[in-house]
Amino acid sequence: MGLTPLQISRLITIIPDIVFGSLMISRLAFYISFLGSYEKVHAALKRSYYFLNQDVERVVKPNITFLQQYGLTDCDIGKLFQLAPRMIILEPERVKEIVSCAEKIGIPRDSLMFKHALASIYNISPGRVNSRSNLLMKTLGCSEAEVGMAVRRFPYILNSTEDRLTRSVDFLVRKVGLEPNYIVHRPSLLGYSMTRRLVPRHFVLETLKAKGLMKKDKDFYAVVTKSEKAFHKMFLDPYKASVPGLTDAYVAACAGQVPPSVLP
Ligand SMILES: *[C@@H]1O[C@H](CO)[C@@H](O)[C@H](O)[C@H]1NC(C)=O
Ligand SMILES: *[C@@H]1O[C@H](CO)[C@@H](O)[C@H](O)[C@H]1NC(C)=O
Query: What single-letter DSSP state applies at residue 236?
Result: I
- Give a yes or no: residue 182 inside a domain: yes
Do 133 and 187 belong together in one domain? yes
**CA dihedral sign of residues 232, 237, 239, 245:** positive
Do 138 and 171 belong together in one domain? yes
Do 239 and 199 belong together in one domain? yes
Predicted confidence (pLDDT) at residue 41 exceeds the cutoff of 90: yes
Reported residue count of the chain is: 264
Look over the chain and give the mean of its residue pLDDT values, rounded to a whole number: 93
Compute, in angstroms, the gap from residue 122 CA to the centroid of ligand 1. Answer: 15
Q: For residue range 99-153, what is the model confidence (pLDDT) as tens digits? A: 999 998 888 898 889 999 999 999 999 989 888 889 899 989 889 889 889 998 9
Q: Which domain holds residue 244?
A: 194-254
- Give a yes or no: residue 24 inside a domain: no
Q: Which of 151, 156, 157, 161 is nearest to 103 (CA)?
A: 151
- Give a yes or no: residue 34 inside a domain: no
Give me the mean pLDDT over the 194-220 stretch: 94
Q: Where does a domain end: 191, 210, 245?
A: 191
Phi-psi region of 212 (alpha: psi -120 to 50; beta: other; left: phi over 0): left
- Give a yes or no: residue 170 inside a domain: yes
Q: Which atom of ligand 2 is nearest to the CA of 116?
A: 13
Residue nearest to atom 12 of ligand 1 (CA): 63
Predicted confidence (pLDDT) at residue 216 exceeds the cutoff of 90: no
- Give a yes or no: residue 85 inside a domain: no
**CA dihedral sign of residues 248, 252, 39, 77:** negative
pLDDT interval class at 161 (50, 70, 90): confident
Do 200 and 237 belong together in one domain? yes
Do 247 and 213 belong together in one domain? yes
pLDDT at 28: 94
Compute, in angstroms, the gap from residue 89 CA to the centroid of ligand 1. Answer: 6
Do 158 and 171 belong together in one domain? yes
pLDDT at 80: 93
Q: What are phi and psi of 250, to 5 degrees?
A: -65, -45
pLDDT at 159: 85
- Give a yes or no: residue 220 inside a domain: yes
Give me the mean pLDDT over the 31-48 stretch: 94
Predicted confidence (pLDDT) at residue 169 exceeds the cutoff of 90: yes
- Give a yes or no: residue 43 inside a domain: no
Best of 48, 79, 122, 123 to mutate for ligand 2, by most ligand atoms within 8 A of CB? 123
Residue nearest to atom 2 of ligand 1 (CA): 89
Give me the mean pLDDT over the 38-43 stretch: 94
Q: Which of 77, 75, 68, 67 is nearest to 98 (CA)?
A: 67
Give me the mean pLDDT over the 62-73 stretch: 94
Do 177 and 199 belong together in one domain? no
Secondary structure (DSSP) of 8-25: HHHHHHH-GGGGG-HHHH
Predicted confidence (pLDDT) at residue 239 exceeds the cutoff of 90: yes
Q: Where does a domain end: 170, 191, 212?
A: 191
Between CA 56 and CA 31 the distance in angstroms is 9
Predicted confidence (pLDDT) at residue 212 exceeds the cutoff of 90: yes
- Give a yes or no: residue 116 inside a domain: no
Residue nearest to atom 11 of ligand 1 (CA): 63
Q: How many domains are there within the chain?
A: 2
Compute, in angstroms, the gap from residue 175 CA to the centroid of ligand 2. Answer: 26
Q: CB–CB of 24/55 below 8 Å?
A: no
Between CA 136 and CA 184 the distance in angstroms is 9
Q: pTM score, two decimals? A: 0.81
Please name the residues in contact with 102: beta carbons below 8 A apart, sequence gap of 6 or more.
114, 117, 118, 121, 155
Residue nearest to atom 3 of ligand 2 (CA): 123
Q: CB–CB of 231/196 below 8 Å?
A: no
pLDDT at 160: 83
Q: CB–CB of 192/222 below 8 Å?
A: no
pLDDT at 79: 93
Do 203 and 169 belong together in one domain? no
Q: Which of 11, 47, 14 is nearest to 29 (CA)?
A: 11
Q: Where does a domain end: 149, 174, 191?
A: 191
pLDDT at 252: 96
Compute, in angstroms, the gap from residue 122 CA to the centroid of ligand 2. Answer: 9
